[in-house]
Structure 1
């Protein structure tokens, strides 16, 4: 659980910006940069904001993630106990063309299908029934924006792990110096802080490929109930 306070991250930014009175960079503006920073972190590192939750299935094979979700990471099991494995949709399409209409037995859901190109939806086999089937799933979520009315007393913590606090700070400084890029040296400072932000996150890595569930070995018993 994060323990770093939002106001502490912003305070560090004002010190580096040498704007202790917050005249050039109002605190509410830096807070906007902070909220943008959290989203930017999760965009490049979906694993920075993971949720493990119980998911109530809708009726049918197609399932949609909660509105705050960014992308699916895994479908672990039926909450009743049976594990769930991922399969390639092509296998089901070729062996069971009508798999979307196959009803689940008392054992529940057996498999899930996921396409990273459609990150907020996934399919289950057999199809689910609303009010009957529920799953344990893992997904990446978008951090909620932080609102602060009193910066002197606020105690809200950042929405992602403390290890990302320096990344958030670098992004805030990048946006602040970018705003003042007409002044000598600020464009370079902005670029430096964004580079630090990028290096810390490993933006050049394929974050989606690293976290998206990928089917491993085809299940030869996929058609058996």
Structure 2
């Protein structure tokens, strides 16, 4: 879905068709935040199948435009690659970091504590390539013309289209969070955040009547004051 379509839906829901209270640049900021939040919760929302070159040795880095490695498919030459646990490699082949360098990888070792890197075995000679599936950093929505004009946001979002409704709910949530001091705004913000969370399978429960604790959580998430 294009950002302009999301903004139209949001303005319909918040009853601000002219974009007076919630202008497009503001909605764009929240839409970019929503993309990041979705990918944080669901890395596969921005999955890409790419081929990456390997460096000499065992330690490999995830390119800056990606967040984490989701799956290793194969060597670019065709041989499949398996993911193994570091403890298993250390126990069965304690010298694996200094083994003979080769072009093709047989195993990949990942560590959840460091999602921006991974290891290959045997050590690579610098000529290898892997076909992998990675979670990409969502591309920022940037207006192509006058930021106050809806047509400047005819730009597609960079995450899977099944999350379009979640993005609408997130932007509506942030919009209502701007008006926490107004009657009913806090409740509406909470309900749309709940719908956003439900879309992602997040275990979040917000009281529709906005008790003080729920209000504080919504305000904190919005960067406001309860």
**TM-score, structure 2 length as denominator?**
0.84
Give structure 1 regions of 4+ aligned residues with deviation exceeding 2 angstroms: 103-106, 149-155
Aligned to 1:65: 62
Higher helix share: 2
Q: Does 1:34 align with 2:16?
A: no
What is the SS of the residue equivalent to 2:140? coil
Aligned twin of 2:193 = 194
Match of 2:100 in 1: 103
Check conservation: 2:69, 2:133, Cα contact below 8 A: yes
Q: Specify every segment of 5 or more residues in structure 1 that has no aligned partner in the other structure, as ranges.
A: 206-225
Which residue is 1:166 aligned to? Answer: 165
Structure 2 match to 1:215: none
User: Partner of 2:215 in structure 1?
Assistant: none
Displacement after TM superposition at 1:204 (Å): 3.0
Structure with bigger RCO (C-alpha 8 Å, 6+ apart): 1
Q: Which of 74, 78, 83 is residue 81 of structure 1 equivalent to? A: 78
What does the per-residue CA deviation read over 1:158-203, in whole Å, with 9 as the maximum and x for residues that have no partner? 1112211110000001101011010000001000000000001102
Output aligned runs, 1:142-153, within 5 Å: 142-148=137-143, 149-150=145-146, 151-153=149-151
Counterparts of 1:112 and 1:103, CA distance in 2: 16
Q: Shift in Å at residue 95 of structure 1? A: 2.0
The one-character-per-residue Cα deviations of 1:76-115 (angstroms, maximum 9, x if unpaired) are 1110111111111112112221211112346x11000011
**SS of the residue aligned with 2:198?**
helix
